[in-house]
């Protein structure tokens, strides 16, 4: 799995989350359900936050495009002096995962399980850093 597949996976998770929550909310509205998912504050916040994160991803991808266009590679060099071109887009897409972990922590496991999800998220961030480095430099860090 490379940076591209990683980004697509993160984006798919975000879109799936939005689709599931939107469907559940609309189902309750359409059928006048007695139990409405919109009454649960955690999931409502998750829907709003992931929507904002994905919206920010659109802006982030635009910034990444501009950054790559503006970057330059010196003659004889294999990479740009800075890895800034890769910095924006993946980070905006990792925030939905953090929000999903927050909700799962509260709804499924409780606050004492926080370190589990914190570690899991840290691993994902580390993987993202390795992918960015590999895409930028062309090799894995030594």
Partner 1 sequence: MIILEYLYTLPNSTEGLDAIAVQTVTAVPSLTPLLLVFVFFVVFLGGISRQNLRSGSADYPMWAVTASLATFLVTLLMTVIPGLVNLSVLVIVTVITIFSAVWLFLDKRASEV
> Rule CB under 8 A: which residues touch partner 1?
1, 5, 9-10, 12-13, 16-17, 20-21, 24, 27-28, 31-37, 39-40, 42-43, 97, 100, 103-104, 107-108
The CA angle 96-53-57, to the nearest 5 degrees, is 110
* Cβ-based nearer residue to partner 1, 85 or 90: 90
Minimum distance of partner 1 from residue 83's CB (angstroms): 23
36 secondary structure, DSSP code: -
Minimum distance of partner 1 from residue 132's CB (angstroms): 17
Minimum distance of partner 1 from residue 24's CB (angstroms): 6
- Here the tokens at position 97 are 């995962």
């Amino acid at each position: 799995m490379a940076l591209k597949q990683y980004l697509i996976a993160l984006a798919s998770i975000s879109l799936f989350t939005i689709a599931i929550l939107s469907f559940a909310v609309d189902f309750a509205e359409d059928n006048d359900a007695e139990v409405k998912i919109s009454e649960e504050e955690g999931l409502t916040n998750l829907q709003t936050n992931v929507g904002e994160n994905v919206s920010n991803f659109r802006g982030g991808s635009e910034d990444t495009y501009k950054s790559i266009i503006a970057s330059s590679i010196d003659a004889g060099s294999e990479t740009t002096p800075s890895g800034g071109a890769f910095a924006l887009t993946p980070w905006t897409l990792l925030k939905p995962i953090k929000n999903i972990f927050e909700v799962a922590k509260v709804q499924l496991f409780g606050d004492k399980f926080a370190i589990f999800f914190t570690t899991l998220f840290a691993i994902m961030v580390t993987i993202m850093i390795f992918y960015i480095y590999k895409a930028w430099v062309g090799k894995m860090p030594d």
